Structure 1
Amino acid sequence: MQRRSFIKNSGMAGLAIAALPQNVWASPQEFSTEELMGKADIELFGEGINLRKEAHDAFVKMRAAAEKDGFAIQMVSSFRDFYRQQSIWERKYIRYTEDDGMQPMEAIEKIIEYSTIPGTSRHHWGTDIDIIDDNAQTNGDVLVPEKFEKGGPFEGFKLWLDENAEKFDFHLVYTNDPRRKGFKYEPWHYSYAPLAIPMLTAYRKLNVVKLLSKEDFLGCEHFTTGFLKTYIQDNILDINQDLL
């Protein structure tokens, strides 16, 4: 497949993610560009868990603690490689543009309410999880904010996570802070801070525009430098401050 024309008015040189103050978890550990973009063959642990070893071990401890309190943590999503993220992106892009009749950028803005551009997902790192309580009775889509709120089937589970998740170094990524931009509130998405923080530190050093210009997936020809700068600032960096 011929790679699509990608950046309009690019000026790509030097467009790496801006550095921010580093959290105490940050370490000198090096991560490859392939790892950070979800293209490396990394070692994952746990059947149905699929996390890096340290994150896996912390998750198992958190799951055991939740079980004692009557909650059965079910993993909805953990590690996703670049190509899995690409399939999610393209499925939504086709649905919004072809089935719903949206213009390309309108569809892209709709996608990035909850889904990341391939190569930019925290789920590429083996540190992040989407979780629910398998003991709760519910129908339909489970990753819906209202189901974690008062009166929802996961209300009690969310209260438990608010009280206990950080004891195991898992932090909510996309909070309900009204000042936060980017992805919408995701009460199910947690990140293992001791690994995710140094990985984000490494990711901030990448020239994301240049890297994405080498990719070929539906809709990427409509990205502009301005759009990607805003996406980086709002969707990648405007997260729970504990994870920066």
Structure 2
Amino acid sequence: MLVNKHHPLNPLDYQPPDLVTPNVPAGPGELVLLRREAAAAVERMFAAAGSNGVSITVQSSYRSYATQVSLYGSYVAQKGQESADTSSARPGYSEHQTGLALDIGDANVGADCEFTICVEETAAGRWVAAHAADYGFVVRYPPGLQAVTGYLYEPWHLRYVGTAAALDMRARGIPTYEQYLGLQGAPGYK
């Protein structure tokens, strides 16, 4: 399931049928919901990271259409639509709404490093960059590829694509899901 600025969910207010709460650490007040397969994979991934001394937390996971309406609207109000479109998906175009995406943090780093580029320098950020594919996840918005993904670099945003696809992407050096699927980039909304 590809969701980007050219491929919205259908229907726009889509809700996954199999959302579950994985047994993983979460940020304050965060209810973690993922699709069943992604939830099982994230439990395995967090356990493996923990055995390496890395404490990953979920800062955000599934978001409903209504939640995305509110979140996107707040970004537009703060910084205008053009700027908001580089860091937040419009309702119906969000990977979080699929139940296959999550934003991670490092439990040993302060809140100042949540949802910022410094995540890549944390133990959690380095660990997922090296190992997420082993569990079916990719860092969905890599650096320097905004013209393809439509979003600025987000080392904290992971997308479950399945182990076979994630490992194939890593082995072949394909950095984005669009490129892996052989599709054109989606830098802006159609």
Q: When the two structures are superposed, what TM-score results if normalisation uses the length of structure 1?
A: 0.57
Following the alignment from structure 2 to structure 1, what is the Cα–Cα distance between the partners of residues 13 and 98?
7
Pair 1:137-2:99 in alignment: no
Partner of residue 14, structure 2: 39
2:142 aligns with one of 164, 175, 189: 175
Which AA in structure 2 matches 1:39?
A: Y
Following the alignment from structure 2 to structure 1, what is the Cα–Cα distance between the partners of residues 65 and 145?
30
Pair 1:148-2:120 in alignment: yes
Partner of residue 79, structure 1: 62
User: The residue matched to 1:234 in structure 2 has which SS?
Assistant: coil
Runs of at least 5 residues in structure 2 that lack an aligned partner in the other structure: 1-5, 23-30, 166-176, 179-184
Query: Alignment length, in residue pairs?
Result: 158
User: The residue matched to 1:80 in structure 2 has which SS?
Assistant: coil
Partner of residue 155, structure 2: 187
User: The residue matched to 1:143 in structure 2 has which SS?
Assistant: coil
Partner of residue 159, structure 1: 126
Following the alignment from structure 1 to structure 2, what is the Cα–Cα distance between the partners of residues 169 and 163?
12
Change beyond 3 A, Cα 1:129–1:41 = closer
Following the alignment from structure 1 to structure 2, what is the Cα–Cα distance between the partners of residues 144 and 188?
8
Calculate percent identity across the aligned residue pairs: 25
Following the alignment from structure 1 to structure 2, what is the Cα–Cα distance between the partners of residues 39 and 84?
12
Q: When the two structures are superposed, what TM-score results if normalisation uses the length of structure 2?
A: 0.72
Change beyond 3 A, Cα 1:235–1:172 = farther
User: The residue matched to 2:102 in structure 1 has which SS?
Assistant: strand
1:47-86 counterparts in 2 under 5 A? 48-86=31-69
Change beyond 3 A, Cα 1:122–1:114 = same
Partner of residue 234, structure 1: 187
Following the alignment from structure 2 to structure 1, what is the Cα–Cα distance between the partners of residues 131 and 52?
11
Runs of at least 5 residues in structure 1 that lack an aligned partner in the other structure: 1-16, 19-31, 97-106, 202-231, 237-244
Q: Displacement of 1:53 after TM fit?
A: 0.6
Partner of residue 123, structure 1: 96
Q: Which has the higher contact order (CA 8 A, sep 6+)?
A: 1
Name the structure with the higher strand share. Answer: 2
User: The residue matched to 2:186 in structure 1 has which SS?
Assistant: helix
- Deviations along 1:152-198, one digit per CA (max 9) or x if unpaired, are xx1x222211221100010110001x254221000001111039x8x
User: The residue matched to 1:233 in structure 2 has which SS?
Assistant: coil
Change beyond 3 A, Cα 1:235–1:170 = farther
Which AA in structure 1 matches 2:10?
A: T
User: The residue matched to 2:83 in structure 1 has which SS?
Assistant: helix
- Deviations along 1:43-73, one digit per CA (max 9) or x if unpaired, are 3111543111100100100011011111222
The answer to whether the 8 Å contact 2:15/2:98 transfers is no
Q: Displacement of 1:235 after TM fit?
A: 5.2
Q: Displacement of 1:124 after TM fit?
A: 0.8
Change beyond 3 A, Cα 1:189–1:139 = closer
1:212-223 counterparts in 2 under 5 A? none
- Deviations along 1:77-128, one digit per CA (max 9) or x if unpaired, are 11111110100111222233xxxxxxxxxx1111012101111011110001
The answer to whether the 8 Å contact 1:174/1:187 transfers is yes
Task: Let me know the Cα RMSD of the aligned residues.
Answer: 2.9
User: The residue matched to 2:187 in structure 1 has which SS?
Assistant: helix
Change beyond 3 A, Cα 1:235–1:171 = farther
Following the alignment from structure 1 to structure 2, what is the Cα–Cα distance between the partners of residues 63 and 33?
31
